[in-house]
Amino acid sequence: MPRSSLYSSSQPNPQTSGVSGVAVELAPDAEKPSIRSRLSSLSSLRRLSPSDPRLLWSVIALMAVLLLLSFSLSLRPTGPKLTQAIIDSAVLKTLEIADLPSPAAKAYETILPSVVMVRSFVKSVEGGEDVQHGVGTGVVIVDKGIILTNLHVVQGGHNIKVTFADGMEAAASVTGTQPENDLAVLQAHKIPDDMIAATMRSTADLRPGDQVLAVGFPFGIGPSASVGVVSGLKRTFRSPEGDKDISNLIQFDAAANPGNSGGPLVTMDGQVVGIVTAILNPSKQRTFIGIGFAVPIENAAQAAGMPPF
The DSSP secondary-structure symbol of 102 reads: P
| Helical spans, DSSP H, in 42-149 | 53-75, 84-97, 103-111
* The one catalytic residue among 72, 120, 182, 226: 182
Q: How far apart are CA 157 and CA 132, in angstroms?
A: 9
Q: Using the 8-state DSSP alphabet, how is residue 127 labeled?
A: T
Residue type, 20: S
193 included as an active-site residue: no
Question: From the CB of residue 26, how many other CB atoms can be counted at a distance below 10 Å?
Answer: 16
Tell me phi and psi for residue 68, to 5 degrees: -65, -45
Question: Using alpha carbons only, how large is the chain's radius of gyration in Å?
Answer: 38
Answer yes or no: are the C-beta atoms of 226 and 254 closer than 8 Å: yes
Please calculate the CA angle 151-156-160 and round it to the nearest 5 degrees: 75
CB neighbours of 248 closer than 8 A, spacing ≥ 6? Answer: 234, 235, 236, 296, 299
Q: How many CB atoms lie within 10 A of CB 238?
A: 12
Contact status, residue 184 vs residue 177, Cβ threshold 8 Å: yes
Q: Which residues contact 113 (CB under 8 A, 6 or more apart)?
A: 165, 194, 196
88 is catalytic: no
Please identify which of the residues 114, 152, 224, 226 carries the catalytic annotation. 152
Output the furthest CA–CA distance in the chain (Å, rounded).
Answer: 121
Distance CA 95, CA 112 (A): 26
Partners of residue 163 on adjacent β-strands: 117, 169
**166 catalytic residue (yes or no):** no
Catalytic residue list: 152, 182, 261
